[in-house]
Structure 1
Amino acid sequence: MIIQRHNKTLSTPTGDMQVTVYRPVDEGAYPAIIFYSEIFQQTTPIARSAKILAGHGFVVLVPEIFHEFNPEGTVLAYDDEGKDKGNADKFAKPLESYDSDNQVMIDYLKSQPFCSGKVGSMGVCIGGHLAFRAALNPSVDGAFCLYATDLHSNTLPCNEGNQTLERCGDIQCEMVMVFGKQDPHVSPEGRRLIHNTMSDNQVNFSWLEVNAQHAFMRDEGDRYDAALALQMYRNAVDFFHRCL
């Protein structure tokens, strides 16, 4: 489908947050996917991913996940300086602030005539964690999480008892978890912890481990695997067409 895009500033309890909306040009009410970026925010690879999803008949909302710490429109570079800044922002933002961001985005989507009211979540790297986190909200109808970081390690700041993985029993929707076997950020032991915790809490999820490194979806850099990326887009589109 031919798509359009526009930016929208939403008011959250922790300040204004710019989001980019990608959606089909054709009139109609489409299901929505909140697409969470890496620590670098909405880079060109993230924008391309959003366009691919939107072109299959979805409203795709890409938030600036660190809006509290950066001017509107900030995009960090894929270099050491950008990585250091993104990681600093990651460890400065409490998980509870993402929860309030999520609710604001869900409320916005459900109020728009171009949205059917069905909402899913998807993300890569920390965005995979945030897509998982979003699934704690009962308004989310499906989550597709790619190489989610910091789930197994419980390293992101939050109130006591509010770590994401330990709350997975609250998730009501279906989920897909994807990891690269050569990903140094989520060890085999970490993956087993995530899988076992979700199983013990009777989460409805599918699990896929592929021969790939971290960030294999990102079409810039040496770790990009085009064949696997295409497979994941197809899997995600099929998953969301069914769930949403």
Structure 2
Amino acid sequence: MGGRLSAPILEQAYRCGIFPWYSPGQPILWWSPDPRFVLRPDEVTIPRSLAKEARKEHWRVTFDEAFGDVIRACAAQQRPGQEGTWITADMIAGYEALHAAGIAHSAECWRDGMLAGGCYGVAIGSMFAGESMFYRRPDASKVAFAKLAERLGERGYAFIDCQQPTEHLARFGAKKWHRSRFLDALAEAVEQPDCWWGRGGLAKGGLICEVKRGIEFL
């Protein structure tokens, strides 16, 4: 726990398989769960009903057009059994700095000219770490995620780090990986050329971390 949510520290944390997750009033907490929930783009399963919905002309999906709006909408999203949000003002500032550096990205789903849903995450090499999603219209976040997964597959991403198991992502085909398998795949993926739009990332460094099998130090 501790540290800062600066862009260099966040980038190096993701390179180490670590991400921040804490509630307002707590110190910054960093996590590397075991097992890890992972989705390979070539194994994505799109439910037939969602695929049909996504083809309808009233949806328009874009990328990186409204990152700030997406992350703030994710912070405001009401979630069953959850009070408040882990997406604090400091988290928003940190991820917006990552976005400015070309490392954090968003997918936006529009309907009738309004932002209806979306998701955002962190891309390094051929790894994409999904962070959060929101919706204001039914199916909007699912359409955004389906189009994002399609784009990641087209650009050669090795996997989507879904972090922790959820029924929603399991329906798309995400599976549990032992942390050792995840860290081995991550180490290879983050050394690959940038797969998004050819935009460069931050220089390595800024965070000293060691991730051992079963024990994390930060």
TM-score by length of 2: 0.35
**Larger RCO (alpha carbons 8 Å, 6+ apart):** 2
